[in-house]
Amino acid sequence: MSRSLGQFAVLLALVLAGVGAALAFAGARPGRAPFFIAARRAAAAIFVFVLIAAGAMEYALVTHDFSVRYVAQVGSRATPPFYTVISLWSALEGSILLWALILSAYTALLARWLGRHPDRSEQTSGPLTLGSLLVVNVFFLLLIAWPANPFGLVSPVPPDGPGPNPLLQNNPFMGVHPPLLYTGYVGMAVPFSFAMGALLAGRLRPEWPRAIRRWILVPWAFLSLGIVAGAWWSYEVLGWGGYWAWDPVENASFMPWLTATAFLHSVMVSERRGMLKTWTLTLIVATFLLTLLGTFITRSGVLASVHAFSQSLIGPFFLVFFGLVLLGSLGLLAARAERLKGDGRLDSPLSRETAFLLNNLFFTAFAFVVLLGTMFPLIAEAVRGVKVSVGAPYFNQMNVPIALALVFLLGVGPALPWRKGSWTLLAGKLRWPALLALIAGVVLALAGVRSPLAWLTFVLAVFALGLLVVEFVEPARVRQRASGGSLVRAVALVAASNRRRYGGYIVHAGVLLIAVGIAASATFRREGEWTLRRGQAQIFSGYALQLDSVWAVQEPNRDGVIAGVTVFRTGNVIDRMYPRLNYYRISTEAVGTPAVRPGPREDLYLVLMAYANDGSNATIKAIVSPMVTWIWGGGIVMGLGVIFGLSRGRRTLTPVPPLRNAEMGQGGEVARAGADAG
Amino acid sequence: MTWKRALIPLAAMPVIALLGFGLTRDARLVPSPLPGKSAPAFALSTLAGDSLRLSDLRGQVVLLNFWASWCLACIGEHPLLVAADRRWRDQGLRMVGVVYQDTRGNAAQWVRERGGDWPNVLDEGSRTAIEYGLFGVPETFFIDRRGRIVYKQIGPVSEQVLDTWIPRLLADSGPAVVSPAELQVGRSPGYLRTSPDFPATQGTTPRKP
Amino acid sequence: MKKRTAGVLAGGAVVLLVFAYLLWGGIGENLVYFLTPTELLAKGTAAQGANLRLGGMVEPGSVHWDAERRELRFRLRDDGHAIDVVSTGAPPQMFAEGIGAVVEGVYTPDGVFHSHNLMVKHSNEYRPPKAGEHPAEYYRQLFKRQQS
């Protein structure tokens, strides 16, 4: 039942997407508004049908309908209900269905938004934008309808299935992490469609970036959270004590993030100064292309260390679509570049524009380094016929300096005014942060921070954070002087009056926390590994670890072996930790679950490596990673920053007036918000 | 000026070509030198206790299927093998199961439950598996009448694979039926797949960063 | 104005060149070749000293664990040849004879591969349990101990 329902819903959605795209493009001509209205309705209907398809699949999963191919592939009666529900995204076909669901949700929301704001629709070449997004829908629905069809019939119907991938079942966080990441990843199709709409129309209004700000920031925030969540998952599940390995799968999500972040910054330049228009569009297009490329290389078996699907048609499908988008968008960009030429120019090297230009340069270089490292094995095989992999040191050697330069820019950029700054003004602003950074540098050196890279990261982070504080406090003091009240209240008022700007600063603070966390955990990590007899203790990095016992447990979907370890510190018991190894029915390979004792200063991380069959001893690996939690905290701060930046202020229909004064006025946003409310 | 612009999209062609090349590779597979070579000989004892030598089957088309009772994918492919055995046995197809990393008792029970009356040999110490360069189970080797491996299926066989190879091998009575270019390794789409956000791991072995 | 453009272009070209040089060097230094024992032996001395990945099957009967020196010795084999491997640290729980494994490390002139990273080959669908038993049987002893 759910099989035919799902199949039917997908086909219907596919037809609607095709028709809707045609209608939308037709509706772009003047006087063809009804076509556009019909296309918007089609977009809403597509979402409903894809929702039905996804619902049918969930129903089949929950009711263990093994006649459905996807259920036979990932379902099992022994899997706990929660994991059965989330196994929608435990394998390829299901995750493409989830992908299509999110995409169609974005499409429906965009259609609604375009309908409700005819003015913005006009600004953003609405019909062409919607049409472009519907074309992306067509592609993904085509994938589901044909090469990645999850609704195929299995005959004879198997009595039971293998259950989802053990790694998926090993941590409930898998219920959150993929949808987060997908919402970001898929959402990049929306800014891409805006860019396509603008390119097809051949015009780009100056207010364009502002009109679509929300459509960029939301996916970007989800992508950021998804990446941090992925790192957390990797840390909590994979048991090697790290969170990032420059694996192709990780890089696939990171590369679009880099270009999208560059875009977020360059768009401000094109908005305020009318510069870098073509470049900004190129970044959006590149971001979307990188999401496609990432999916392609990780799903089609092109690169190693990923599960291969070389016999399915998905690879060729993706390649064709990727090629079409690449050629089409490059062609459009080339054809329209002349018309979109910016009218602004760089007035002075000492200006915020310069900071943004450098920012873009570094982000692009960063993305290129990652792209090259990710694709190099393929290049090497194509050119020289050898199988190689690119070691993590390459990524670190190349990217750490770039990242540090970006942290430095993050510290200086906000202090620079648009157009033309003066050294005295800059020196005045940077005085306190620089002093603070200097003190921090001396203290850290005295405290024994020997690694130059870590030292530099900390110092730069203190510097940048100091400047952020100045940026909050200085205007607040001005306000306080004028209207009294406490400083905290003044800070809150100032921040609330320019949410876009201060939201951005909060995001920056989150990035700094992450930078510090990465530097500390990568530099000062300590680890040891011992085979302990029962009752035996081992001193490690200020802790004493005592193996109490080793035992086995049976659960419906898995069996596990657990080591009980008592942790002492200065003679007192501070914790009991239970690292374990799990054996899932589906795989006879053991999947570990490390035990983590998180803390703001450092994490203690225990892995059960091996054990004697009679339980008399166990091999435990212990890792102490300082300040890892700062990374997760930084991710949360980034998310909060975006929420703050997007809160209220959304009714600002009037564009930012091109800048007249050297310094952005703090009252500008308030004035505009007031104007819109009226 | 305009024609120069047209060159910009052309710059994308190498990228597409590279990805297209990538599609023809399976990065996970270390190329197997086996197809086209003689199937490594073995003499092993069957579950019934007899001795079976691969060389005794020379002149017949042999389907060598590595399996184990703990292997879930083997359960899935078994009905296909039973059907193939029924359909082509009279025409000279000889099915041989090789039990991998398993006990005689478990394997015998598994066969009793699921049917199939072709011989199954026990590969103690996995020596035969190593000679055949096994990645895991199930894997199936298609051996022609001259004793050469013409095709190796990694993962469960599909109807399509059986229909493609068995009639061709049976139809031929003499030397080469398969051109060297066709000798290949096939891989069934893994029935276990991960979502794109799984950081791929080389096993769950803790990895050094 | 023209002069300035030329200057910017030249500066950009220099930056690009330096960047390309760094990239090339960075990648070249950090390439890890993936070889099978047969391929490694065919390379002869050329393969010595470089960081490599070696993939093959663990030869039955070759595994030796020296608990005192925390050293694991075994032979990795493909369908032609075998290479002695020494790896430090305890073997992972699913390490067993007759399974596929990948080691990362250095091949030294004495004909031994010194591994600093032992990975059991990732093919989650086709992994045999240790010693050919069903996983449940494998730690039956632990269950027994717990019940008593």
CA A436 to chain centre: 32
Nearest-CA neighbor of A624 among A649, A647, A604? A604
CA separation for the pair A603, A607 (Å, rounded): 13
Cβ-based contacts of A583 with chain C (< 8 Å):
135, 138
Q: Which two tokens stand for residue A282?
A: 């190129």
Distance (Å) of CA A672 to CA A214, A397, A668, A678, B22: 17, 46, 6, 10, 52
B-proximal residues of A, 303-342, CB under 8 Å: 303-312, 315-316, 319, 322-323, 326-327, 330-331, 333-335, 337
| Cα angle C113-C115-C120, degrees, rounded to a multiple of 5 | 115
Among A144, A506, A132, smallest CA distance to A332 is for A132
Distance from CA of C103 to the nearest CA of B (A): 11
C-alpha–C-alpha distance, residues B190 and A589, integer Å: 16
- For A336-387, the pLDDT digits (tens) are 877 777 666 777 778 888 889 999 999 999 999 999 998 888 888 788 877 7
The per-residue pLDDT of chain B, averaged, comes to: 73
Q: Closest Cα of chain A to B122: distance in Å?
A: 20
Torsion of the alpha carbons at A342, A347, A348 and A350, rounded to the nearest 10: -60
- Residue C14 distance to chain B (closest CA, Å): 22
- In Å, how far are A45, A60, A565 from A590, measured between CA atoms? 45, 29, 20
Residue C135 contacts B where some CB pair is shorter than 8 Å: yes
Which residues in B lie closer than 8 A to residue C63 (C-beta atoms)?
none
* CB pair distance less than 8 Å for C78 and B133: yes
Helix (H) or strand (E) holding C56: strand C51-58
Q: Over 50: is that where the pLDDT of B78 sits?
A: yes
Q: What is the mean pLDDT of chain A?
A: 85
Angstrom distance (rounded) from CA A558 to CA A550: 17
DSSP B172: -
Q: What would the DSSP string read from start to end of A1-29?
A: -HHHHHHHHHHHHHHHHHHHHHHHHHTTS
* Stretch A633-641: mean pLDDT: 95
A608 contacts in C (CB within 8 Å)?
Answer: 93
Block residue for tokens 């989830």: A98
Residue B180 confidence (pLDDT) above 50? no
Could you give the CA distance from residue A310 to residue A89 in angstroms, rounded to a whole number? 20
Distance from CA of A567 to the nearest CA of B (A): 22
Q: Report the amino acid identity of residue A163.
A: G
Q: Which two three-digit tokens encode residue A38?
A: 């019909």
Residues from chain A contacting residue C43 (CB–CB below 8 Å): none
Q: State both tokens at A525.
A: 């990590």
Q: Is the dihedral of CA B174, B178, B184, B185 positive or negative?
A: negative
* Closest of A563, A559, A561, A560 to residue A531, by C-alpha: A563
The B residues from 172 to 201 touching A (CB cutoff 8 Å) are 186-201
Residue A647 DSSP code: S
Q: What are phi and psi of A246, to 5 degrees?
A: 55, 40
Residues 6+ apart with CB under 8 A from A436: A462, A463, A466
pLDDT at A400: 92
Partner-chain contact C138 A581, CB within 8 Å: no
Count CB neighbours of A630 within 10 A.
23
Dump the DSSP string for B57-96.
GTTSEEEEEEE-TT-HHHHHHHHHHHHHHHHHGGGTEEEE
Residue A139's pLDDT is 95
For the entire predicted model, the pTM comes to: 0.81
pLDDT at C141: 36
> Per-residue pLDDT tens for A293-303?
888 877 655 55
Mean pLDDT of B139-164: 83
pLDDT at A608 over 50: yes
Contact B198, A249 (CB under 8 A): yes
Type of residue found at B130? I
Q: C-chain residues within 8 Å CB-CB of A615?
A: 141-142, 145
Nearest-angstrom CA–CA distance, B145 and A252: 47
d(CA A127, CA A115): 10
Rg (CA), chain B: 21
| C143 against B11, higher pLDDT | B11
CB contact under 8 A, A398 and C22: yes
Low-confidence winner among A213-227, A457-471, B153-167 (lowest mean pLDDT):
B153-167
Residues in chain C within 8 Å Cβ distance of A393: 29-30
- DSSP class per residue in A436-503: HHHHHHHHHHHTT---HHHHHHHHHHHHHHHHHHHHHHHHHHHHHHHH-S-HHHHHHHHHHHTHHHHH
* CA separation for the pair A524, A602 (Å, rounded): 10
Closest chain A residue to the Cα of C27, Cα to Cα: A394
H helix runs in A385-422, sequence order: 392-412
Triad A159, B82, B37: Cα angle to 5°: 120
Task: Give the ipTM of the model, two decimals please.
Answer: 0.72
Three-class SS state of A414:
helix
**Rounded Cα–Cα distance for residues A173 and A194 (Å):** 33
Q: Across residues A86-96, what is the average pLDDT?
A: 85
Is the peptide bond preceding residue A657 cis, with omega within 30 degrees of 0?
no
CA atoms within 13 A on the CB side of A204: 28
Q: Are A567 and A544 in contact (CB under 8 A)?
A: yes
Q: For residues A513-525, give the mean pLDDT.
A: 93
| C-alpha–C-alpha distance, residues C126 and C128, integer Å | 7
CA distance A519 to A244: 13
Task: Report the interhelical angle of A314-336 vs A126-145 (nearest 10°).
Answer: 160
Positive or negative, the CA dihedral A140, A144, A147, A148 is: positive
Give pLDDT tens digits for B107-128: 888 888 788 889 999 988 777 8
Residue of A386, A393, A561 with shortest CB distance to C33 = A386
| DSSP-H helix ranges across A117-125 | 118-123
A609 touching chain C per CB within 8 A? yes
Separation between Cα atoms, residue A242 and residue A251, nearest integer Å: 15
Residue B26 has pLDDT above 80, yes or no: no
Q: How far apart are CA B31 and CA B152, in angstroms?
A: 11
User: What Cα–Cα distance (Å) separates residue B28 from each residue in A349, A654, C34?
Assistant: 50, 55, 11
Give the pLDDT score at A651: 44
Q: Could you check whether the bond before residue B167 is cis, i.e. omega within 30 degrees of 0?
A: no
A91 touching chain B per CB within 8 A: yes
User: Is residue C49 helix, strand or coil?
Assistant: coil
Structure tokens at B180: 């060297």
**Top-ranked range on mean pLDDT: pick from A41-50, A262-271, B134-143:** A41-50
- A310, B190 contact by CB (below 8 A): no
Residue ranges of B 88-117 with Cβ closer than 8 A to chain A: none
Secondary structure of residue B173 in the 3-state scheme = coil
Amino acid at B111: V
Which range, A88-92, A252-256, A264-268, has the best average confidence (pLDDT)?
A252-256
Helix-then-strand count for chain A, H and E: 23, 11
**Chain C: closest CA distance from residue A550 (Å):** 8
CA dihedral A435, A440, A445, A446 (to 10 degrees): 100
- The mean pLDDT value for A264-289 works out to 87
| Pair A402, A367: CB distance under 8 Å | no
Mean pLDDT of A519-544: 91
Residue of chain C nearest B133, judged by CA positions: C79
pLDDT for position A57? 96
Q: What is the pLDDT of residues C40-54, one digit of tens each?
A: 888 878 778 888 888
Contact residues on chain B for A379, CB-CB shorter than 8 A:
18
β B61-67/B139-143 pair status: antiparallel
Residues in chain A within 8 Å Cβ distance of C90 = 529, 531, 609-610, 619
Taking the CA of residue C90 and the nearest CA in chain B, the distance in Å comes to 11
Percentage helix, strand, coil for chain C under 3-state DSSP, each rounded to 5? 40, 30, 30
Torsion of CA C38, C43, C49, C51, to 10 degrees: -60
Can you tell me the distance from the alpha carbon of B59 to that of B37, in angstroms, rounded to the nearest whole number?
A: 16
Q: What is the pLDDT of residue A325?
A: 93
CB A307 within 8 A of CB B190: yes
The reported pLDDT for the residue numbered A311 is 44
Residues of C with a Cβ under 8 Å from any A Cβ are: 19, 22-23, 26-27, 29-35, 51, 53, 67, 89-94, 120, 122, 124-125, 127-129, 135-136, 138-139, 141-143, 145-146
List the structure tokens of B122: 């026990």
Identify the chains in contact with C, defined as 3+ C-beta pairs within 8 A: A, B
Q: What is the CATH number of domain B36-187?
A: 3.40.30.10
Question: From CA A65, how far away is CA A71, in angstroms rounded?
Answer: 7
Whole-number pLDDT of residue C97? 73
Q: What does DSSP assign to residue B197? A: T
pLDDT for position B3: 62
Beta bridge partners of B95: B63
Closest residue in C to A615 (Cα) is: C142
Question: Which residues does residue A608 pair with via DSSP β-bridges, in sequence order?
Answer: A620
Question: What's the gap in Å between the CA of B94 and the closest CA on chain C?
Answer: 24
What confidence score (pLDDT) does residue B103 get?
Answer: 79
